[in-house]
Structure 1
Amino acid sequence: MRTKAALFPAWRPTRPDVGSVARKAGTALLLRLLDEQERWPLWMPVFLGCGVGLYFALPSEPPAWLAPVLLAAALAMLVAGVLLRHRAAGWLLLVAAMATGGVAAAQARTLAVAAPVVPYAGTFAVEGTVVEMEPRRKGSRVLLDDLAVERLAPDATPRRVRVALRWDEGVRPGARIALKARLSPPSPPALPGGYDFARKAFFEGLGGIGFALGRPVVVAPAPEGANRLERLRLHLTEAMRREIPGVDGAVAAALTTGLRADIPDGVWEDMQRSGLAHLLAISGLHMTLVAGAVFILVRYLLALCPPLALRATVKKLAAAVALVAAFAYLLVSGASIPAQRAFIMTGVALVAVMLDRSPLSMRLVALAALVVLVSQPESLTGPSFQMSFAAVVALIAWYERRPERREGTERQRHHLLVYLAGITATTLLASLATAPFSAWHFQRVAVLGVVANLIGVPLTGFWIMPSALMAFLLMPFGLEAPFFWLMGEGIGWLLWIASLIADMPYAALDAPFMPFAALLFMAAGGLWLCLWLQPWRRFGLVPVACGLVLLAFTERPLLLVDAEMGHAAVVGDEGVRLLALRKDAFLEDLWLRALGGDPLPWPGAPPPNGPLRCDPWGCILDHGERRIALAFRAGALAEDCGRVDLVVAFIDASACSSPRPVVDRPALRDMGGAAVYATTDGFEIRPVQAARGERPWTRR
């Protein structure tokens, strides 16, 4: 007879076989990967971008010899990966080659464009050749090349500078002019981790920005036939401005010739809040509209000629003509880096049509991304590349997965409904795909952008851009005026829609200080969702959710101070208080966006129980049991030195010998500005310059 112990053996916990679980998970992952082998090439630009991103994240510049070494290693791994018979090992080598090549391409690009920068802000006698000219309401803005700058040796002279002219009589592209100008180096970020205009200017070869003091002298007029393209751009812009006066004409110039310096700040604000700002920059949308209109027109005209239509492939001929038209638009628009990127994407699609391939292919998008990242690696860090590719990848992923299109009369019967549903779905999808990047770069998400784009994009595509195209085609015959009038009317409606949407409650939401980790998680999850086809792609929702959770851990500073000690911002629960010793509306707007909250006046009479108390000599900011002193004058510095946990002095504080941290004007200049955060141990000072690292574009 069995005992009770034999019938009911004691339960003993067993250790999980971690190795077995890992092997099963690895096997499942491998099987899923093998099921989607045809999608592996789509990840090559992602790994190339990882290499580019790694280069820009380095705290210091690697030695110059590293670029050719990494390039040789990348080529060797690429060849080995292609020739290797073991498929998995071959793809791993290709992944390593892409990442290594990304670092090499980014460093090679940096070495290729490196040029001097104006060493300090000051007045210089400048002589240079006008290579670009943008008309403005008062004068113009010119880009000068082939420079000679007073007090700067040739090897210390910038390659290019941009100067605003109040008087521009006789100044034309190709002319050589001399002037006195107030020049400054391109501005660094206004806060740690902020947008770095100096880096953008570095890769554009721009070494100084400023304004002319007085009238420029034309040393040599533009030679006959010189700078024909820039002169054509200027001629087209002036013709448009004559026919389309005011703000509408400035927007017309931005849409066609890419000259947008004359657009008022209020229009920019309305376009950004309504989600229509992307229409003001030459992008893939504009390039597609021009190429698409030419493609349809040429294909229709060729089809009217039966002998040609029967003997040639009309579609391919139309695609070739559209490619030429897109290239012409690229040149007329100024061939900016975003426009070049848009042309590459459009050109790849048109070549696909000529080769009887589908232009709506994820492989073509991957090819375009590879070309852009190899030729212009710095574009990875900019909003234009990120938002354009995010929208295109999301739209093509939706196109690949949508149900089979209905054929026949049912589709024709509901043609309008299908169009409205399609444009609504694509607008919503593109808005969702670009929202994280908009929040990161602009600290703003256009909530009603779907509504605005639902009207604004068709208005631009079917009214404004076709009118511009017809006006340019008929300009040699003097028949452009009616079409410029039509274009101006369409732009007027577009700006009215932007203003209407922007004034609505909750049209845009501020997204202050979005963590970079949140952006990375959401981008990685979005790629996983879009690049795979099998159901396991839904695992991409996990990193997207993690990114959204990280938004709750946004860290805001207590205090911001700029490098010149002209501005400070104190952040509290009730809003942001700005102290401005000198006027700088751009800096104030940028800080308010990044910090969030409403701007509050700097207190005159100090509130008796408030955390911020001020008098004419300085301020005291209480945070819990700790205290920060802002000293405007020597009297406040002498009173607060040694009595507070942190002194921020708007003057030289060398006379203050305190065991507590003291930050004064010379220190702030070295830091490039700073943000002060509260910690458990006191206060942490984060310099702007430390976040930028020691790179060619950060040298001062």
Structure 2
Amino acid sequence: MAPDIQEAGPVGGDKPMRDVPIIPMGDDPGGSDAAGEGVPRPWQRAGGLSSMGGSPGDAAEAFLARAGFDRAPWLAVVFAGGIIAWFALPAMWHWCAAMAGGMAMALGALAVWPPGTVADETRANLRLALVTCGLVFAFGIAVVWARSALVGAEPIARPMVALLDGAVLEREDQPADGRLRLTLAIRDAETGTARKVRVNVPLASFGADGVPPGLAEGAVVRLRARLMPPASPMLPGAYDFARAAWFKGLAATGTMIGRLEVLRLAPEAGGLASLQRWLAAHVRARVDGSAGTIAAAFASGDRGSISEADEIAMRDSGLTHLLSISGLHVSAVVGAAYILALRLLALWPALALRVRLPVVAAGAGALAGVGYTLLTGAEVPTVRSCVAALLVLGALALGREALSLRMVALAAGFVLLLWPESAIGPSFQMSFAAVLAIVALSNSAPVRAFLAAREEPLWARYGRRAVMLFVTGVVIELALMPIVLFHFHRAGVYGAFANVVAIPLVTFVSMPLSALGLLLDTLGLGAPAWWLVEQSLDLLLAIARFTAGQAGAVRLMPQIGGVTVALFAAGGLWLALWRGRVRLAGLVPVALASALVAATPVPDLLIAGDGQQVGITMPGPDGTARLLALGDSRSSYTRDNLMELAGVSAEPVPLASWPGARCSSAFCTLAITRDGRDWVLLLGRGRKQVEERALAAACAEADIVVAERFLPRSCRPRWLKADRRMLTQSGGLAIDLSAERITSVAEGQGAHGWWRPEAPRSRTPQ
């Protein structure tokens, strides 16, 4: 019988084992990773907690020990916070003051506790935390500021028609929209400076011959185009194309007029872009219909052939993330390459006995991941996912825990260092929110207990994993919901249910079969595999259409405030980055933010920056909200913006046909009631000349006047005059009449380079 371990011989020759403090190595509360799995934190050492007194520092040390504090994830959060602060603060002196504040915090900590004078470990740790966080915050502001100064392009001053001679930097095929999108490097005729512009080229302009073979990256072309400065948000909370164009270096966007002439053909050698287009065309030729367009997106990242109806169905069902090459796709490719290499190499005994197969398999997975990333365009989300996958492979090769918060923090820091502007983009936020949710959930004690190995039937084991898959989908949907509503003002309600089937279908059926089809095509035997791919993707689209077609499948939400989003972010990070019961404190800000979302007011009036598009929310005959639209715009972009920001799902009703509205060829008038007060609206319908005295009299009877023209000084409404003079400075407006609050686009822009209040606005991004 084995002796009791506590009565065994002395450890180290001088101390019984029962007196040796046990440091847990396999369940590190701070999260194990490749950088230091099982290494005890300073506050977890043998004497760190036993000698505690009653000081606040000791209490903080005890709290950190119980909560499993790990510095690395919080440093990534602070770095991202500095970047976001630069976008949120309006002026240069604010940016300088914020950087000075971060450095002052670091210097203040060093002044209070100079190096070499602090013997207490708690105070030393506090000093290190203050110094590091202050410097990292200031560094975040400096990084994004430098990035903006280096890549930002001054937009053109005004709309123009110009003859362009330029080199093709990028070609993007969009057959679903009947066009090519060319990014050109041109030289400004007036200033002689180089500019980058993006031009939409209609496919019909090429005639029956189609796109010239030499029209690719590296070609030189001549064309005439109608150019516009990149469009600022149409309304507060709408997509800011001007900001995105600034960080892409675009000075203008537009549409070609007439014919395109190729002055110099692209090099025959081609490149990754040419290979990507060839691969997309090859897959579409093997798989018919909508399934072929999605298969091409999986294989090459080319989404230009996916129809608008399929895009909408995937979006409203919560499956649109499957169309973007990101974490799911890169993980599937890397995982398949790793497992396949590991299994094949294990069949070679001589090699298996001499080398560590996980290291070799990790190398194969890394090559597959990098190759897939380059092949699909190396967009920021794909690069981000590839970096995370490489970190996971490194952890596996070293025998460490693959999924850890430190791995996520390192990947986030890498992406933010190269592309700091991605911190405010939905792609970055959604990707890392989903990964954080997965890691936090998988490392929680209840989940570990639920998935722990046990003696049970096979059906019970896979049943528990199916339940866990659904729970993970629900948690991810809850984590992403605030981000989706903030950026897109709409979210698929049943996405968790659809993803339970769609994600395994894509990961384990569609993508492996696509890879098999490409492999068999080298032998001319790929037809059966491509038929199965078509069936699987038709099933995926059927799931998307069925889910999107259910009542209440889409939730629309007006623009939620920055405080609400900050509460959601703080609560979510607290829930994800702490351990034990203390993490439940994160539910408090989440609950408060949820209450603020529920109380978010619907704007009574939405006024576009050009003054031509006005939306008015009104109660409909059946009690549901309806949206009245002043302009009868054919633009789906304009209509969708008005509907989403008003939180209204029904199609807009033309104002002229609404009972109670009186319209002439120049103006419409409408009286609405909010909280017992009557508001009279006078809305311009064009630039038809109106006698000034009559206009002044009409303005005097109105509370709000909106017009795309310059109105004379004699036009004096009782509350607001939103004419061209005001709107070119403020941008679009959202008005809450009950609170008498006006929100403008300009409020969120500040002195950043992409905002030009004096420049004319285009109504839709090109």
On whether the aligned pair clears a TM of 0.5, the verdict is yes
For 2:603, what is the secondary structure of its paired residue? coil
Q: Does 1:691 align with 2:748?
A: yes
* Residue 620 (structure 1) aligns with: 670
Matches of 1:154 and 1:220 in 2, distance apart? Answer: 22
**Change in 2 beyond 3 A, CA 1:212/1:631:** closer
For 1:637, what is the secondary structure of its paired residue? helix
* Residue 184 (structure 1) aligns with: 228
Superposition deviation, residue 547 in structure 1: 0.5
* Residue 446 (structure 1) aligns with: 492
For 2:258, what is the secondary structure of its paired residue? coil
Contact 1:566–1:581 (CA under 8 A) maintained in structure 2:
no
Contact 1:287–1:342 (CA under 8 A) maintained in structure 2:
yes
Q: Does 1:288 align with 2:331?
A: yes
1:570-585 matched pairs, under 5 angstroms: 570-574=616-620, 575-585=626-636
Task: Provide TM-score, normalisation by structure 2.
Answer: 0.82
**Change in 2 beyond 3 A, CA 1:95/1:219:** same
* Residue 534 (structure 1) aligns with: 580
For 1:415, what is the secondary structure of its paired residue? helix
* Residue 320 (structure 2) aligns with: 277
Superposition deviation, residue 75 in structure 1: 10
Task: Provide TM-score, normalisation by structure 1.
Answer: 0.89
Matches of 1:513 and 1:144 in 2, distance apart? Answer: 32
**Change in 2 beyond 3 A, CA 1:79/1:29:** closer
Matches of 2:184 and 2:101 in 1, distance apart? Answer: 33
* Residue 716 (structure 2) aligns with: 658
* Residue 156 (structure 2) aligns with: 118
Q: Which runs of 5+ in 1 are unaligned?
A: 1-22
**Change in 2 beyond 3 A, CA 1:35/1:418:** closer
**Change in 2 beyond 3 A, CA 1:38/1:668:** closer
Offset from partner CA, 1:327-372 (integer Å, 9 cap, x none): 0111111011111111111111112112221111111111111112
Matches of 1:435 and 1:230 in 2, distance apart? Answer: 34
Offset from partner CA, 1:534-568 (integer Å, 9 cap, x none): 31111111111110111133123221122223311
* Residue 643 (structure 2) aligns with: 592
Give the structure, 1 or 2, with the largest relative contact order (CA under 8 Å, sep 6 or more). Answer: 2
For 1:209, what is the secondary structure of its paired residue? strand
Q: Does 1:51 align with 2:62?
A: no
Offset from partner CA, 1:364-395 (integer Å, 9 cap, x none): 11111111222211111111111111111111
Contact 1:71–1:104 (CA under 8 A) maintained in structure 2:
no
**Change in 2 beyond 3 A, CA 1:413/1:691:** closer
Matches of 2:292 and 2:187 in 1, distance apart? Answer: 35
For 1:483, what is the secondary structure of its paired residue? helix
Contact 2:671–2:681 (CA under 8 A) maintained in structure 1:
yes
Matches of 2:288 and 2:301 in 1, distance apart? Answer: 17
Matches of 2:102 and 2:79 in 1, distance apart? Answer: 12
Matches of 2:329 and 2:109 in 1, distance apart? Answer: 36
Contact 1:78–1:97 (CA under 8 A) maintained in structure 2:
no
Contact 2:100–2:138 (CA under 8 A) maintained in structure 1:
no
1:462 to 498, 503, 508: 508
For 2:232, what is the secondary structure of its paired residue? coil
**Change in 2 beyond 3 A, CA 1:377/1:406:** same
Superposition deviation, residue 104 in structure 1: 1.2
* Residue 141 (structure 1) aligns with: 180
Matches of 2:229 and 2:716 in 1, distance apart? Answer: 34
Deviation larger for 302-311 or 657-666: 657-666
Contact 1:560–1:676 (CA under 8 A) maintained in structure 2:
yes
Deviation larger for 200-209 or 481-490: 481-490
Offset from partner CA, 1:452-485 (integer Å, 9 cap, x none): 1011101100111112222334454444444333
What is the RMSD computed on CA atoms of the aligned residues?
2.9
Contact 2:612–2:707 (CA under 8 A) maintained in structure 1:
no
1:551 to 559, 584, 597: 597
Deviation larger for 227-236 or 199-208: 199-208
For 1:418, what is the secondary structure of its paired residue? helix
Matches of 2:401 and 2:530 in 1, distance apart? Answer: 35
For 2:236, what is the secondary structure of its paired residue? coil
Q: Does 1:678 align with 2:737?
A: yes
* Residue 448 (structure 2) aligns with: 403
Contact 1:568–1:579 (CA under 8 A) maintained in structure 2:
yes
Superposition deviation, residue 655 in structure 1: 5.6
Matches of 1:408 and 1:622 in 2, distance apart? Answer: 66
* Residue 205 (structure 1) aligns with: 249
Superposition deviation, residue 284 in structure 1: 0.7
**Change in 2 beyond 3 A, CA 1:411/1:444:** farther
Superposition deviation, residue 118 in structure 1: 3.0
**Change in 2 beyond 3 A, CA 1:649/1:139:** closer
Q: Does 1:325 align with 2:363?
A: no
Contact 2:179–2:202 (CA under 8 A) maintained in structure 1:
yes
For 2:700, what is the secondary structure of its paired residue? coil
For 1:604, what is the secondary structure of its paired residue? helix
Matches of 1:72 and 1:470 in 2, distance apart? Answer: 55
**Change in 2 beyond 3 A, CA 1:560/1:60:** same
1:337 to 369, 380, 387: 380
**Change in 2 beyond 3 A, CA 1:215/1:240:** farther
Percentage identity across paired residues of the two chains: 32
Offset from partner CA, 1:489-533 (integer Å, 9 cap, x none): 222111111001110112222222222222211221111111111
* Residue 164 (structure 1) aligns with: 201
Offset from partner CA, 1:273-329 (integer Å, 9 cap, x none): 110011111111111011111111111111111111222221221111111111011
Contact 2:69–2:578 (CA under 8 A) maintained in structure 1:
no
Aligned residue-pair number: 670
Matches of 1:480 and 1:436 in 2, distance apart? Answer: 43
**Change in 2 beyond 3 A, CA 1:414/1:34:** closer
Matches of 2:322 and 2:407 in 1, distance apart? Answer: 24
Matches of 2:221 and 2:100 in 1, distance apart? Answer: 44
Matches of 1:47 and 1:92 in 2, distance apart? Answer: 11
Q: Does 1:644 align with 2:702?
A: yes
1:75-154 matched pairs, under 5 angstroms: 86-130=124-168, 131-137=170-176, 139-149=178-188, 151-154=189-192
Superposition deviation, residue 667 in structure 1: 3.0
Q: Which runs of 5+ in 2 are unaligned?
A: 1-53, 119-123, 621-625, 760-766
1:384 to 420, 427, 446: 427
